[in-house]
A = this chain, B = another copy of it.
Amino acid sequence: MARRLKGVLAPVVTPFDADLKPSAERLITHCKWLVSQNAGLAVFGTNSEANSLSVAERMTLMSQLVEAGVDASLMMPGTGCCALTDTVELTKHAVKLGCSGVLMLPPFFYKNLSDDGLYRAFSETIQRVGSDKLRLYLYHIPPIAQVPITPGVIERLLKAYPGTVAGIKDSSGDWNNTDMLLKNFQSESFDVFCGSEVFLLQTLRGGGAGAITATCNVNPAMIHDLYAHWQDADADDRQAKVTTVRRTFEMLPLISAMKAVIAWKRNDPQWSEVRPPLMSVPKEKLEPLREKLDEIGYQMNL
The 8 closest A-B pairs by CB, nearest first: A121-B276, A51-B109, A117-B277, A51-B82, A121-B277, A120-B276, A54-B85, A107-B277
> A222 to nearest B CB, angstroms?
27
16 more contacts with CB within 8 A, not counting A46-B109, A111-B143, A111-B144, are A20-B84, A51-B107, A51-B109, A52-B107, A53-B83, A54-B89, A82-B82, A84-B275, A107-B277, A108-B109, A110-B144, A110-B278, A111-B146, A117-B278, A117-B279, A120-B276
- Once the chains bind, are A277 and B53 in contact (CB under 8 Å)? no
Closest B residue to A82 by beta carbon equals: B51
Partner of A146, one of B52, B89, B146, B276: B146
A157 to B85, CA, bound (A): 33
A108 to B145, CA, bound (A): 9
> A281 to nearest B CB, angstroms?
12
Contact with B along A154-168 (1 / 0, CB 8 A): 000000000000000
Is A180 part of the contact surface with B, judged by Cβ < 8 Å? no
Is A57 part of the contact surface with B, judged by Cβ < 8 Å? yes
Is A225 part of the contact surface with B, judged by Cβ < 8 Å? no
Q: Select the residue from A54, A118, A146 with max chain B CB neighbours within 10 A.
A: A54
- Once the chains bind, are B57 and A107 in contact (CB under 8 Å)? no
Write out the residue numbers on chain B whose beta carbons fall within 8 Å of the beta carbon of A250.
Answer: none
Between-chain CB contacts (< 8 Å), 13 pairs: A20-B124, A46-B109, A54-B83, A57-B85, A84-B276, A109-B145, A111-B143, A113-B277, A114-B279, A117-B277, A118-B277, A146-B146, A147-B277
A51 to B145, CA, bound (A): 14
A106 to B277, CA, bound (A): 9
> A229 to nearest B CB, angstroms?
35
Among residues 230 to 277 in chain A, which have CB atoms less than 8 Å away from a CB atom of chain B? 275-277
Is A116 part of the contact surface with B, judged by Cβ < 8 Å? yes
A86 to B275, CA, bound (A): 13
